[in-house]
Structures are given as structure tokens and as C-alpha cells.
Amino acid sequence: MSDVTDTTLQGRAAAPAPVAPAIELTGISKSFGPVQANKDISLTVAKGAIHGIVGENGAGKSTLMSILYGFYHADSGDIRINGDLKHITGSQDAIDAGIGMVHQHFMLVQPFTVLENVVLGAEDGALLKPSLAKARGILQDLAHEYELEVDPDAIVGDLSVGLQQRVEILKALYRQAEILILDEPTGVLTPAEADHLFRILRNLKDQGKTIILITHKLREIMAVTDTVSVMRRGEMTATVPTAETNPSALAELMVGRRVLLRVDKTPAQPGETIMSVRDLDVRANGVAKLKSISLDLKAGEILGVAGVAGNGQSELLEVLGGTRAAQGGEVRFRGDPIDITPSANSAKRRRRGIGHVPEDRHRKGLVMPFKTWENTNFGYHNAEQFRGPMGLANQAAMMEDARGKIERFDIRPPDPYLKAANFSGGNQQKIVLAREIEANPDVLLVGQPTRGVDIGAIEFIHQQIVALRDAGKAILLVSVELEEILGLSDRVIVMFDGTISGERITSETNEQELGLLMAGVDPNSEQSA
Amino acid sequence: MNTTLPRWVDIGLIPLINLALALFVAGLVVIFIGEDPIRAVQILIRGALGSDYGIGFTLYYATNFIFTGLAVAIAFHASLFNIGGEGQASIAGIGVALAALTLDQTHWLISLPAAIVMGGLFGAAWAAIPAYLQAKRGSHIVITTIMFNFIASALLVYLLVNVMKVEGSMATETRKFQEGAQIPFVHEMAGWFGLKMARTPMNISFFLALICCVFTYLLIWRSRLGYEIRAFGFSEPAAVYAGINPVKITMIAMLLSGAMAGLMAINTVMGDQQRLVLDAVQGAGFVGIAVALMGRSHPVGVLLAAILFGILYQGGAELAFEMPKISRDMIVVIQALVILFTGALENMVRIPVARAWLKLDRRSA
């Protein structure tokens, strides 16, 4: 194991070990313009190990893996696979070298069957039938060996995300991958599905496969990896055996300073109900997304909405935020009904005091090619203070407003002229939060506030949300991160298949109970039955 | 690739390389038909810029392209590809002609503003139907605006043959506008200041076009409406999130685009022909697409690109005249090459230049 723990230059110079490491990267550097994404990175991954790579967003994990998988070409440095120097110039080279990658966003053709997806790009000849027949056999063996059962004739679009992920893994194995890279694989899984995935990974490891797991969830690193490498600002800061470290030590290595993993907050003091939702029905393309949802949101509390992605939380947030119409039901804000028909307009809602941090800041919360000063008033740009003469915008006021928000929310770099696309995830989210919080809303709808956000910024964002609560505002928090829901919210509702499958006081529940509710099982009712 | 090029490379160097490539390939074509390409370029440039006569014609053509280029650029900021400038300008010609025919007993100071309003309204109206179909029904604006070009052309023929033609005349045109609707030529305006210029069709519309460049800049980059147009153009979900109504923005952007294309009719119908004729637009609507692409949808870029195409038009005409082997069709080929390289093949040059720039940048850093 010594060659695994040591990635320094001396380690590289040492005599080759009897078994060559599965992957050996030496001196990898890669720049994008002025940004150096990878600085002289060396990494050794032992054969048959599960190797975790953690780091904040923008630390260079994805770039490094993209270099290994041939999406990018390193400016300098060597890649050795099983001891052999490889020139990987495209993903086909990587596949030929036995590397398989499971992307965060699946690369599957939705209307194709599992079998067709697996074979796609790896057909043996012009005729499809023999390839499919061969693949069917191989798939059966793989399914047996690794607990990777999927119906080969199922249409991929009909499968759950967990099963789609299995198809991705099968795709890689079908291409005889010996090294499997998984990029944030548990982001879309229930805790139970994640556990199953880890079982699969351990099976793969037992069969001698090498696995690289990229994640920002330290709990997963602790649960499943043998070795963990930490990246910070494009550099590899440490590689340690997992058994010899702990989450707070890793967090400190990632951020470069001590961080608070727990959210520091006092018990909530809920006041009157500010927003009430009754029998909300939402359909999209004929599919019921919300089925008669009712809930009350009180001043001075954070109401968490837990659930696996795709169970109606997004639709709930969109209806309340005014970007999606409901087909039935009623929403009241301070006793007055709110327009939830197709004529609903989110600008009206903002004027009434309902702020909205959307789940997808790239497509909704920000206009990526807009500069900071254009984004810090986005949605509020028709407010009195931003109006100039003759329909012009008061750009001086917008700029001043932006400078204030940049300072108060510590947005870095503090450049009002920088385009949103050029900020890190955490700073992008700070721009959105600064805008929505400083508008001083009575209700703040927050979706996935820390998705793709680095640990240092998570702490700050959580503090801001708690501060807003303490100022007597109502907050609806939608998050697929159970840890975040447990840490931040005062009350939790769990959504499953468009319904509320349970409601709990956060301090009186735990991850297991919520996990069951997320799968649509109510532990209490089961006991009584 | 995450790259930021300096502005002068982005809007200066790359278009110039594209232009050079286009001229190089055009030069090969000229060699192929047995003429001297260097001499051809000399004739072209001398014809376009070598005299006040040439410059007048060049800027007359450029005026058309500024209007149609701005029209495409405005729609482009809302991520709408308005291919219908041709049709919008021809229909606007009817509006301009109606204003001029009605008011040509008065003074151009009265008939010109009326023609601007009518041209703008008619152009906008012709863009309104495709815009509505796009906004409400999702019919693709490229398809509908192209189809509306044909409808416009047929409608114009019908009107000129059956309704607006001078009775007893065989020519498919309206009567000539009288003095009250004849807007000043630039050579006349120069005369007011005691300057002598050759007679060319360049008229006061050129200055209207310059005002429209400033207007477009203020609209897109300084106004709240322009902010909403750009936000919508970059990301529709973000626009909806911010409370910007996509239907409204699609309609407004297309109406403005159509109106801008419509103003072109002032230059040709009122300024040059002083009557409504068939095909007053002469393809300027399509050249506007290339102008907007080359000008990166920025008014300054549009202005420069429009002048370039003005040079190609005027210089090309001289070239066809002086080099008999180079026919009028050859000039169209050369113009098409410029459009091909600056518009369609833009990324062919952009990506290598960006790479080379980054390499240089890193070395110096």
C-alpha cells in the first residue's frame, strides 16, 4: 500500500513495484486560458482498490478525470496504465486502455433498450443482430457476477435513475473496462440505492477491478474507499488511507482551513402561517407530478422538503415561484390567493415578497453570459431604483447595488464586470442568494442551495439562510441532500411520487426514517399494520 | 472550451482573416477564368472608393445593409433568426409608397416622418405573423419568415399589377412621387454647405441608418427592454424565472426587427426610385443576415460590415463593367464566398485563432 499513499516525486522515482499500479499520473498540468485547472498532479491508484477523489468544486477533479478519459489533452505530464505509458487523445484511446467512465449526467439514448444502449458504439459489424445476441449473453454473466441486474429489453427512458446508472456501469464493463471512474454517482440516488451501488463497487473490487470515485460527500468516501486523495485549487494536497483519516480532517484539507460541518442554529420559533398550499395538482405531459399537495409555511421556520430527485419537489418549487402553472388547488400568501394559472408571473410574486433561489442556477437563476452587475438585479430589474429615463436602465444604480452585494456576500473575485459563467459554483450561488435575500422577501423558496458548491461556501450559504429565518422569514428548502435537510431545516416533509409521504420535526427524526419515507414507506404505519 | 479572446481579436482580427480567405478563394476563381486577380481587386476598390461617385454608391448600398443588418441583429439578441428581412422590407415599401403618394403635395419634412412610421409599421406587421406563430405555436421562425418572403413577393406583384399601377401604363410601378415626397440626396445636402459632390442615389436615409445604429445600441445594451431581450436570448428558462414573458419578448423583438428592416424601404423607394417598383429590395434582406453575422450583431460591427458589402456591390458592378470576362454572376459568386466565409464558416477560423492566441498568451505570461 505504500505506493498508494505516496504521490510525491520521490514516490514516482522509486523502483517499479512488483505489481504496476492501475493508474499512474505524473506531473499532469492543464490550463484553460489564465486558469490553471491542474498543477503538476501526480496520482497513483493501486490495482483492485477503490480510490476516492474529493475536492471542492473547481478544484480540478473533473479536469483530471477528463484528461484521463481523453476529453482534454494535458499540457504536460504522463499517463501510465498498468505501467505502460499511454497517449490518450480521445475517449476511444481510454476505452482501449481499459478505462470506463460513468458520468454524472448519463450518456444514454432514452428511447433505446438497455441492450441497444450497451452495444451502441461497440457493435461488431454492420449487422446488429449478432452483436445484440452476444451482448445479451455477456450482460447476463455481468449481472450475475456483480449484482447488476437490469432487464436487457427495458426501454432506458422507463428505468429509474438508479437502474440507468447500472446501465452505464454495464456499458463500461461490456467494453472490458478494468478501471472504472464514477463522477458524483450518488447525487440522484436514494440512500438505499446508494448502498446498493456501493455493494456493486465492492463486488467489482473483489473481482480485481480498480475504481475511482469522485464525490463531494465525505460520508461516502469514508464508507466505501480504501484510499482517498484530496484536491485543492488544481493541486493534489494529500493522499491518505481512508482508515487513517476522518471527515473533518478531509474537509480541512479540501478547504485549507477548519470548517464547520454542522449548521450552527438555535431552535426555531415559528410564528403565523405565511403561505398555505391546498390540494395542489400539477400535471406535465399527462403525467401527474403533484397529487393534491397541502402544506403550511410559517414565519421563522425552515421547512425542508426531502425526497429523491424527480418526486415532485421541483414542480412544487416552480409552482410556488411562479414559473409553472398548476392544474388545480390553491396557494395563499398572507391569506390572499396567488395566481397559479398559466398567466402567473414570477415578477409579481417578487413584488409581493416571495423570493426564489431556483434549483438550476445555470439555466434559471443566472444568465451565464451576463456580467455580475446584470445578474445581481435579475428579476428585480424593473424595480423603481433601477429605472432610468425613457425606458433606459439606471446602470449606475445597478452597479452600485452589485458592488454592495459583492462585498456583503463575499463574492469572489469581486469583479462586477465578470460574467457569471466565469465564477465558481459557490460564488455563482452567492450571487443568486445575495439578490434574493437582499430583496428582503417574506418567503424564500430555496432549491438545492449547495448543489455543486464548495464546502467553504456551503457554510456561508447555510448561515445566510439561518439568519434570514432568525429575522422572522419563512423558508422552504428543497434539497436532495439528506444531510442538508437534517442540518438546516426545522420541520421536514418528504415527497414521494408527487405526494407527501410523511412529515417530521427534524430534531425528532433521523436519516433512516427519512430514507424509508423517501422510498414511499411510512415506518409508523407499517408498525401499526 | 473556456476561452476569452480580447475584443480586437474577436471582432477585428477574425473577421479580417475570414475576409482575406474569402478574397483568396475568389482570387483563385478569377485566375481560373483567366483574369488577373490583383488587377481585379484594384478595379473593385477603385470603383467603390476611388471617387466621390463610387463612395456615394457604396454608401447608398451600405445604407440598405445597415437597416437589414440591424434587423437581423436585434432579433438575434433574442435568439430569433429573422430570415424575413427581404419580405418585411418589400411590404414596408408599400407603406412608404402610401405615405409618399398621400403626402407628396406637402414637404419632405412631413412626408419623411410619415414614411418612417408607415415603413416601420408595415415591416413590423409582416414580422408579426411569424412572430406570433413562433411565440404561441412554436412554429420555427426561420421557416415561417422564409415562407413570408415568398408571400410578400407575390403580394407585391399582385398590388403593383392590379391596384397601385398607373392606369394605362405597362410598367409595374406606381406613379413617381412629387416633390413633396422627394427626400434630399446627399449631393444636394452637400450643396447646402457649398460642397460639390457627384450625383449618386445616396440620400438622407444614410443618416437615418446611422441614427438607427445608435438607437439599436441604446436599445440592446442600455434599456431595460434590451436587458430582457438579451436575457431571453441567452436563456428562456432564466427569463421565465425572472418574470419576463417569452411571448411578449418574442413579439417585441420581432416587431422591432421587422420595423428596422422596413426602414430600408425609405432608402430605395423614397430615396432612390421615388416610386414603388417590383424588387426594390434586391436581396438586401438576405445580405443583412451576412452583415449581422459578420458584425457580431453589434451596431458598430453591422455598420462596418454593411460598408464592406457596399464596397463589394459597387466595386463589383465596376468590375463587371471593366473586365468583360467577369460577369455580373461572377460578382454574386464573390459576394457569396464572403458570406460563406464570414457567416457559415466562421468557426473554421475562430477555433484555430483562439487556440493560437491562447498559446501566445501563455508563452508571454
Residue tagged 483568396 (cell numbers): B24
Query: Residue A244's CB: how many other CB atoms inside 10 A?
Result: 10
> What is the band of A122 on the pLDDT scale with cuts at 50, 70, 90?
confident
Find the mean pLDDT for residues A107-130: 87
Separation of alpha carbons A342 and A349, rounded Å: 14
Pairwise CB contact (< 8 Å): A348 & B227: no
Residue that wins the pLDDT comparison between B222 and B33: B222
Tell me, what's the ipTM?
Answer: 0.85
A168 near B CB under 8 A: no
Q: A408 — phi, psi (to 5°)?
A: -70, -30
Q: Which of residues 422-441 of A touch B (CB under 8 A)?
A: 422
Q: Which residues of B touch A358 (CB under 8 A)?
A: 241
Whether B1 shows a pLDDT value over 60: the answer reads no
- In chain B, which residues have their Cβ closer than 8 Å to the Cβ of A379? 241-243
Over residues B305-330, the mean pLDDT reads 89
**CB of A349 closer than 8 Å to CB of A377:** no
Where residue A8 falls among pLDDT bands split at 50, 70, 90? Answer: very low
pLDDT digits (tens, 9 = 90+) for A153-179: 999 988 888 889 899 999 999 998 999
- pLDDT tens-digit map of A467-507: 999 999 999 999 988 888 999 999 999 999 899 999 999 99
Residues A16-21 have a mean pLDDT of: 69
Which residues of chain A have a CB within 8 Å of the CB of B2?
32-33, 35, 422
Predicted confidence band at B362 (pLDDT cuts at 50, 70, 90)?
Answer: low
The rounded distance, in Å, linking the Cα atoms of B49 and A219 is 72
The pLDDT of residue B365 is 54
A256-283 pLDDT per residue, tens:
777 666 778 888 899 999 999 999 999 9
Contact present, A484 and A296 (Cβ < 8 Å): no
Give me the CATH topology for the region A273-365+442-528.
Rossmann fold (3.40.50)
> Looking at CA atoms only, how far is residue B31 from chain A in angstroms?
41
Chain B interface includes A413 (CB < 8 A):
no
CA separation for the pair A8, B57 (Å, rounded): 71
Superfamily classification of domain A2-98+178-255? P-loop containing nucleotide triphosphate hydrolases (3.40.50.300)
Interface contact B240-A378, CB threshold 8 A: no
The pLDDT score that the predictor gives to residue B350 is: 81
Residues of chain B with pLDDT > 90, as a percent, come to 69
Cell of A169: 456501469
Give which of A306, A320, A322 is closest to B242, Cα–Cα: A322
Q: What is the predicted pLDDT for the residue at B282?
A: 87
A34–chain B Cβ distance below 8 A for any pair: yes
Q: Report CA Rg, chain B.
A: 21
DSSP H or E segment with residue A81 = strand A76-81
Of B2, B227, B235, the CB nearest to A33: B2
Distance from CA of B107 to the nearest CA of A (A): 30
Please count the helices (runs of H) and the strands (runs of E) in chain A.
Answer: 19, 20
State CA B353 to chain mean position distance: 28
Cβ atoms of A221 and A213 closer than 8 Å: yes
pLDDT at B12: 77
Considering only A422-426, A523-527, B22-26, B175-179, which range has the smallest mean pLDDT? A523-527
pLDDT tens-digit series, residues B143-154: 999 999 999 999
Say if A57 is an interface residue toward chain B (CB within 8 Å): no
A33 has a pLDDT exceeding 50 = yes
Q: Mind listing the pLDDT tens digit for each residue in B212-247? A: 999 999 999 999 999 999 999 999 999 999 999 999
DSSP bridge pairs for B242: none
Interface touch B240/A346, C-beta < 8 Å: yes
Quick one: average pLDDT of A213-229? 88
Q: What mean pLDDT is predicted for residues B293-297?
A: 87
Distance from the B3 Cα atom to the nearest Cα atom in chain A, whole angstroms: 6
CB within 8 Å of B27: residues ≥ 6 apart: B37, B40, B41
pLDDT at A529: 38
Taking an 8 Å cut-off on Cβ atoms, the answer to whether B243 and A345 are in contact is yes
Provide the pLDDT for residue B331. Answer: 80
Cross-chain Cβ contact B358/A33 below 8 Å: yes
Are the beta carbons of A395 and B222 separated by less than 8 Å? Answer: yes
Q: For residue B265, give the H/E element and its range.
A: helix B246-265
A341 has a chain B CB within 8 A of its CB: no
Chain A hits for B223, CB-CB cut-off 8 Å, are 391-393
Q: Do A356 and B225 make contact, defined as CB atoms within 8 angstroms?
A: no
Residue B227: other Cβ atoms inside 10 A: 26
Q: What is the rounded CA–CA span in Å between residue B244 and residue B94?
A: 34
What pLDDT is attached to residue A2? Answer: 42
Owner of C-alpha cell 474529493: A54
Q: In which band, very low, low, confident or very high, does the pLDDT at A525 lie, cut at 50, 70 and 90?
A: low
From A33-47, B76-90, B310-324, the region with the lowest mean pLDDT = A33-47
Calculate the average pLDDT of chain A. Answer: 88
| E strand or H helix that includes residue A55 | strand A50-55
Which residues in chain A are contacts of B218 at CB distance < 8 A? Answer: 392
pLDDT in tens, B168-214: 888 889 999 999 999 999 999 999 999 999 999 999 999 999 999 99
> Quick check: A369 and B234 CB within 8 A?
yes
Domain ranges of chain A: 2-98+178-255, 106-175, 273-365+442-528
Q: Provide the grid cell at B361.
A: 498568451
pLDDT digits (tens, 9 = 90+) for A404-439: 999 999 998 899 999 998 888 889 999 999 999 999
Q: Do A364 and B361 touch (CB under 8 A)?
A: no
The residue of chain B nearest to residue A34, with distances taken between CA atoms, is B362
Cα(A255)–Cα(A253) distance, rounded to whole angstroms? 6
Whether residue B37 has a cis bond before it, omega within 30° of 0? no
Q: B234: which chain A residues are within 8 Å (Cβ-Cβ)? A: 367-370
Q: Binning pLDDT at 50, 70 and 90, where does residue B275 land?
A: very high
Nearest to B287 by CA among B48, B45, B72, B18: B72
The reported pLDDT for the residue numbered A104 is 79
Fold match, A2-98+178-255 / A273-365+442-528: yes
- Mean local confidence (pLDDT), A285-295: 90
